[in-house]
Structure 1
Amino acid sequence: MNPSQRNKAVSSDWSPARAAAPTTPARSLLIRGARVLDPASGFDGIGHVGVRDGVIDSVSMAQPKGRYEQTIDAKGLWLMPGLVDLCARFREPGQTHKASFASEIPAAQAGGITTVILPPDSQPVIDSPAALLRVQRIAAQAGGLDARVLGALTKGLGGEALSELSALQAGGAVGASQALAPIRDVLVARRALDYARGLGITVHVFAQNAGLAAGGCAHEGAVATRLGLSSIPATAEVADLRFWISLVEDTGARVHFNRLSTARGAELIESAQQRGLPVTADVAAHQLFLTDVDVDGFNALCHVIPPLRDASDRDALRAAVASGVIGAICSDHQPHDADAKINPFPMTEPGISALETLLPLTLELVHDGVLDPLAAAARLSLGPARIAGLDAGTLSIGANADLVLIDPQRDWTLHADHLRSAGRHTPFDGRVMRGAAVTTLFRGVPVYTA
């Protein structure tokens, strides 16, 4: 049995239906009798949510008096804001042999995701207003999802000259990032944070010291040693976190740390937050379940960057998510073509398809007692929305009706061949999941129904 699998006894072997293409959407809709989870207000109770013209117009425990064209009976279901995914790659432009907006948006909708943040490492790199506009136009033409973009912190992600951050911000970029590319010149890093601080831009940092990582592909530990794999020590993350946090101390810039993987990293974030520094962090959902033991047997489906760490790191990350030190859970979605995982482990491409596992894995944390439902909603919607500076993740009256209805008790088995994503690589193939999106609404229109 694959080490990532759970007990095979399930009530059904279910995979969600394809995304529903809306025909003539109703101008008003009442969702009746759901367990309403609003992380913005802290409300958790049975209620009714009304939607008119794409926005929420009522949230109440008593059924509203107004008339609605359509009604959804949501008894036994949870209703929460649509998921905001802080890191997902759609591979367009530049790598459409792997995926595209057309293939990945249905996957996101099936996972309850209504907003995604795209890193700048497309081809070409998003380091200019023209490149940013190109991606925005592709996203607008595809529709059905709010796709936001991070601008490149340096030109071409080369780590030498700063990008046109002011112009990128004016064009709609919600932050700046080097994606996975390092900045080796510390003076450039310092100037980047100074510039970002002046503009009020959040800098998204993937903390991994390139020299210590040294092109490794697995966690430095017993498994990598036994398999003879080049390793990435936990120190690679810790050293880079210390460096960037010291620059935050000097500049006051707002920095968000992407995809933590170590216990010590979570401790550093907590310490920085306690000292009042403007730092936040997220973690990829798979890091909360898998460990380096899952790499055993050269399982290329578990080749991810940062690498899967040991059980103590996983447990510390779970604790940091529960406490709120890590304020968001992301997918770190990286779809690949069929050939990406067939070579020897070090030569395979890192990354997995994860849009459709973000929600069910987080629901598993609820069933395991790590999070309560309201905290799970916060980590998936309000937390990432605040990090990205977006007016999302709330069920407030007047907010966009980006919503997801969830059946928290539905047992089903994930089959990689049934993923909507063009990338079918997942270490959770065959895993029993409990809970799934039933309906996803974007601006009040059902874009997915199971």
Structure 2
Amino acid sequence: MSALAIINARILDPATNADFTGACLIENGLIVELNRGTGWSAPDGVEVIDAQGLCLAPGLIDIRVKTGEPGAEPKETLKSASLSAAAGGVTTIVIQPDTDPAIDDPAMIEFIQRRGAALGLVNVRAAGAATKGRDGQRMAEIGLMDEAGALYFTDGDKVIANSRTLQRVMSYAAAFNALIACRPADPWLSEGAVATSGELAARLGLSAAPAIAERIQLERDLALVEQTGARFLVDQISTEGALETLARARAKGLEVAASVSINHLCFNEIDIGDYRTFYRLDPPLRAESDRQALIEAVRDGLIDAITSAHAPAPAEDKRRPFAEATPGAIGLETLLPAALTLHHQDGLELLDILRPLTEGPATLLGLDAGRLAAGAPADLILFDPGAPVVVDAERLHSKSKNSPFDGRRLQGKVIRTFVGGRTVHEIG
């Protein structure tokens, strides 16, 4: 592989809080060196890309991506998801285990990774199911899946209601320091709910769950974390009360991380409007006070990972009465410009936004990516944080078009995406 130099770039590295104008030299898929200033000259024979002031940052790492492959390829394939990721500046995606069949054994982990590698686009990794068939009762072969390359273990959108089962999973995972992720949602308070409790849900006649359902389940999960010593990820935290519980657990020294979906940082319950099903999400959109608390948690570093929560659903699954519509939204291509609204509208620093999109998830999952440093993989993005973008769902690479950002005017455009020093996406 020939060497490559990117010059005259605004280099942003959340891992070191670096923000300077300079150049990056890449050889054999790895970063060789970073140089400050505009006077550096590339060695002879090196291909040079003049960034002309564009931002150069680590490629984004999305730890929560659903696809339809295997089992429901019309929704999304690994190829269409990888194309979407590359266009969105996401260089590593972690596939959720809720496929058909579920990703609950080493062979499925190896299938996902082998299929992703064959595509030659972005890094495709997998999360293994915590229980067999995601039934919440029988522990899956998490030790063997860990050896096969699973990055963490979760039942995805399904809550492990059986405390004994979750205790067994956590205890076993703690023996080899594996990460367990759970959705915090009391299954009885949340059963059948499609919205968050409040005046809006009552006026629309929607079945709703109180925000406290998230905190109640999180309190149980954290009690088991304290008892077992497991590493734990709070998957898609969405309420202010749960954030307070998380902060107390961190203060006690528990090894607990948290992710939040970009949708809950950008939208609130009002966006449901007149039963707009593209805003039918799980967890449901919350009150504006919850959204603001989540933004402050990103600013303060309480959130470790911002995810797209990419969940493709075809039109026939969305064009239904609100309560019957399939929850979820696509988000790989819109992740960066959506996250940059926190910079343009809420005043967060670029590094504070990029950290839970790059270094945060990389550290959580033990990946070498997510940073700009000599020896790190050359998984990079060049982007213009101020470039206007009008989202047109029909032009997105995903096979499904259920984007809540459709028609929105955002700022932030990915110009070029590199994986291992190779260009996998470029605006011409």
TM-score scaled to structure 2, two decimals?
Answer: 0.97
Quote the Cα distance in structure 1 between the aligned partners of 2:60 and 2:44.
Answer: 28
1:334 is displaced (CA, Å) by 0.6
Q: Indicate how the Cα distance of structure 1 residues 68 and 393 shifts in structure 2: closer, same or farther if over 3 A, else same.
A: farther
Q: Tell me the equivalent position of 2:32.
A: 57
Corresponding residue number in structure 1 for 2:300: 323
Cα deviation for residue 65 of structure 1 reads: 5.1
Find the counterpart in structure 2 of residue 237 from structure 1: 214
1:37 paired with 2:1, answer no
Deviations 1:400-425 (A, max 9, x none): 10000011111121111111111111
Residue 338, structure 1, aligned to residue 315, structure 2:
yes
Which contiguous aligned blocks of 4+ residues in structure 1 show a shift greater than 3 angstroms?
Answer: none
Q: What is the CA RMSD across the aligned residues, in angstroms?
A: 1.2
**Is this contact kept in 1: 2:112–2:124, CA < 8 A?**
no
2:179 alignment partner, one of 202, 212, 218? 202
How far the C-alpha of 1:436 sits from its partner, in A, is: 1.1
Question: Aligned in 2, Cα 1:52/1:224: closer, same or farther, shift over 3 Å?
Answer: same
Amino acid at match of 1:148: R
**Which structure has more RCO (C-alpha within 8 Å, separation ≥ 6)?**
1
Once the two structures are TM-superposed, the CA of residue 68 in structure 1 deviates from its matched residue by 4.7
In 2, distance between residues paired with 1:362 and 1:40? Answer: 18
Look up the equivalent residue of 1:309 and give its one-letter code.
R
Aligned length: 425
The equivalent of 2:22 in structure 1 is 47
| 2:60 aligned partner | 83
| Aligned counterpart, 1:101 | 78
Maintained 8 Å contact 2:160/2:182: no
Which of 238-247 and 384-393 deviates more? 384-393
Specify the code of the residue in structure 2 equivalent to 1:319. Answer: E
Cα distance, 1:107 vs. partner?
0.8
Q: Distance in 1 between matches of 2:233 and 2:223?
A: 14
Overall identity of the aligned pairs, in %: 37
Instruction: Verify the 8 A CA contact 1:262 1:309 in the aligned structure 2.
Output: yes
Q: Contact between 2:74 and 2:399, CA under 8 Å: does it hold in 1?
A: no
Gaps in structure 1 of 5+ consecutive residues: 1-25
User: For 1:301 and 1:226, how far apart are their aligned partners in 2?
Assistant: 19
* Inter-partner Cα distance in structure 1 for 2:161 and 2:294: 28
> Which of 419, 424, 428 in structure 2 is aligned with 1:442?
419
| Alpha-carbon distance, 1:182 to partner | 2.0
**Which residue in the other structure is 2:106 paired with?**
129
Q: 1:348 aligns with which of 325, 330, 333?
A: 325
CA distance in 2, matches of 1:434, 1:288: 16
| Alignment map for 1:418-437 (pairs within 5 Å) | 418-437=395-414
Say if 2:92 and 2:124, in contact at 8 Å, map to a contact too. yes
Residues in 2 aligned to 1:433 and 1:171: alpha-carbon distance in whole angstroms? 39
Describe the superposition over 1:211-244 as per-residue Cα deviations: whole angstroms up to 9, x where unpaired. 1101211111111111111112112211111000
Q: CA deviation digits over 1:68-100, x for unaligned, max 9?
A: 531111122100000000101122111101110
List per-residue Cα deviations over 1:39-85 (Å, max 9, x = no partner): 12221110100111111011011415533531111122100000000
Aligned partners of 1:110, 1:278: CA distance in 2, in Å?
34
CA contact (8 A) 2:159 2:182 kept: no
d(CA) in 2 for partners of 1:226 and 1:353?
Answer: 28
| 2: CA distance, partners of 1:31 / 1:68 | 14
